[in-house]
Structure 1
Amino acid sequence: MRRLSGVTIDCLEPQVLASFWSAILDRPVTAEHDGPDWATVGSRLDAAPRLTFQRVPEPKRGKVRLHLDIEVDDVDEARAQIEQLGGHWTGVRHDYPGEGVVLVMADPEGHEFCVVRYL
């Protein structure tokens, strides 16, 4: 059997990003990776993949070629929550008639992700 159990994101401040994503996804920060260089949201025992944040010495440079899509009921409400938690809107919005809306957001370290509202 094969399943995606998680995604690991390189970052400067694992605990900061774990707290941010915990609030966005309404999933707990867990102790699966303990120590100052790691932080995890969710668990490998959950049905949904966990997010693990791994400390690296270099900051993010350029556009990451992989991003997460977060489905929401209201993109404007999600944007406000993300900004309140330290993330920001990149200024990119895609409206797909008959399909939905996508806002390209960034977490506190600049990792891009999308909030998506499907119609």
Structure 2
Amino acid sequence: MANRWVGVTIDCVDVQRTAAFWSALLERPPGPTQPGWVYLGHPDDPQPRLVFQPVTEAKHGKVRLHLDVAVDDIEAGIAQVIALGGRFTGERHDYDEGVVVVTADPEDHEFCLVHYY
């Protein structure tokens, strides 16, 4: 059996709120789960699942691993993040191949919105 990537686990104090944010942003419904946790997706999905794990302490400092989310319109993507309870950090990078902006979910986990030209 070959190794394969099956998911990303995000530690969060408010599992339901954080999972609801990502579920709406990525249009991925919750799948099978265990008490206190939320899984977006199923084990046999073509995309890795997002797993929201309860923790008692809030995030401190910048995350060392983050997700990149491709969007068709960078301004509309920022507006959606804000409407869902996240925030735009103000950090934007314009490259020849596209635009990258740094945003954060309701628990301040940073992630990038990416628009490729």
* Same structural fold, with TM-score higher than 0.5 when normalized by the shorter chain: yes
Question: What does residue 19 of structure 1 align with?
Answer: 20
CA distance in 2: counterparts of 1:106 and 1:54, whole angstroms: 17
Question: What does residue 34 of structure 1 align with?
Answer: 34
**Which consecutive residues of structure 2, in runs of 5 or more, have no partner in the other structure?**
none
Question: What does residue 70 of structure 1 align with?
Answer: 69
2:78 alignment partner, SS class: helix
CA distance in 2: counterparts of 1:22 and 1:91, whole angstroms: 23
**Which consecutive residues of structure 1, in runs of 5 or more, have no partner in the other structure?**
none
- 1:54-90 Cα shifts (integer Å, max 9, x gaps): 0011100000100000011001001101100000001
CA distance in 1: counterparts of 2:55 and 2:111, whole angstroms: 20
1:102: how far off?
0.4
Which residue identity is paired with 1:102? V
CA distance in 1: counterparts of 2:76 and 2:3, whole angstroms: 35
CA distance in 2: counterparts of 1:70 and 1:94, whole angstroms: 15
Computed over aligned residues only, the root mean square deviation of the Cα atoms, in angstroms, reads 0.8
Structure 1 runs (4+) greater than 6 angstroms displaced: none
Percent identical residues:
55
Equivalences, count: 116
1:23 alignment partner, SS class: helix
TM-score (norm. length: structure 1): 0.94
